[in-house]
A = this chain, B = another copy of it.
Amino acid sequence: MDNKHDILTLLRSVAEGATSPEEALLNLKEVPFEDLDYAKIDYHRSIRQGASEVIYGEGKTPEQIKGIVTAMGERGCRNILVTRIGQEAADILCGAVPAEYHPLPKLAVAFPEEREHRGSIVVATGGTSDMPVAEEAALTAETLGNNVTRLYDVGVAGLHRLLSNLDPIMSARCIVAVAGMEGALASVIGGLADCPVIAVPTSVGYGASFGGLSALLSMLNSCASGCSVVNIDNGFGAGYLASMINQMEGL
């Protein structure tokens, strides 16, 4: 109900007598989400944006996840992303509704439905160990209808591996750079590419990586223009934003 047009429409309906003030107030309060007691499902965004719905699985019981997904499916939602969902919860979910599970990034897509893939997003990683986070980003972007090119293990300590892949980098509309340890990948890609670069620090590493802090700070300090950063290990956030940018309409 936070949209000017919705408010105007509702007010006009009141002005025309079609809606009583009390109903309007009620309306204002009950439309946009469904209350499952333990969660308030928001159908607002999907209607407005035509996007997939997303459920953050961590901290929710398998039963809660199943409940939310089922309620969404009944409302007609498709390609529902469930992130950070363990094998056990995924088994319960896949037993209850049609769903695909990707164990590496611990991500499920419920009520999957083919959709057109458009544009061009690159997801690059510094090392092999960054793949779970990168796959969360890549699968998120693919589920949201984007073409994704994966460039894994192209860290800056072996620069030629990255330089040998300049083609996709130079032609991407958005790049997700995933790296732990020193996180220099984002800076180097940011200096090469002409498009927005979304940096994802990962908690991969040991010692003075301090759970991703080193990569996070490094990426925030990147001297390359056009870079921005999401939370440590937040592959979903990067994939979602990359999709937004890739699917921008022209001016």
Q: How far is the CA of A59 from the CA of B204 in the complex (A)?
A: 8
Q: Which of A85-93, A94-102, A107-115, A221-229 contacts B (4 or more CB under 8 A)?
A: A221-229
Q: How far is the CA of A249 from the CA of B251 in the complex (A)?
A: 7
Cβ of A54: which chain B residues have Cβ within 8 Å of it?
A: 225
Contact A128 B38 (CB under 8 A): yes
Contact A184 B181 (CB under 8 A): no
Interface residues on A, range: 35 or more
Contact A32 B195 (CB under 8 A): no
Q: Least Cβ distance of A35 to chain B in Å?
A: 8
Task: Decide if A207 is an interface residue (CB 8 Å cutoff).
Answer: yes
Contact A222 B157 (CB under 8 A): yes
Task: Give chain A interface residues in 132-163, CB to chain B under 8 Å.
Answer: 152-161, 163
Asked whether A152 and B38 contact (CB < 8 A) given A184-B182, A218-B183, A221-B231, the answer is: yes
A-B contacts, 11 listed (Cβ < 8 Å): A15-B21, A32-B160, A40-B158, A40-B161, A119-B251, A159-B192, A205-B221, A206-B232, A225-B241, A228-B241, A229-B230
Q: A206-B231, A210-B211 are in contact. List 5 more A-B contacts (CB 8 A).
A: A3-B166, A3-B170, A40-B158, A60-B129, A157-B222
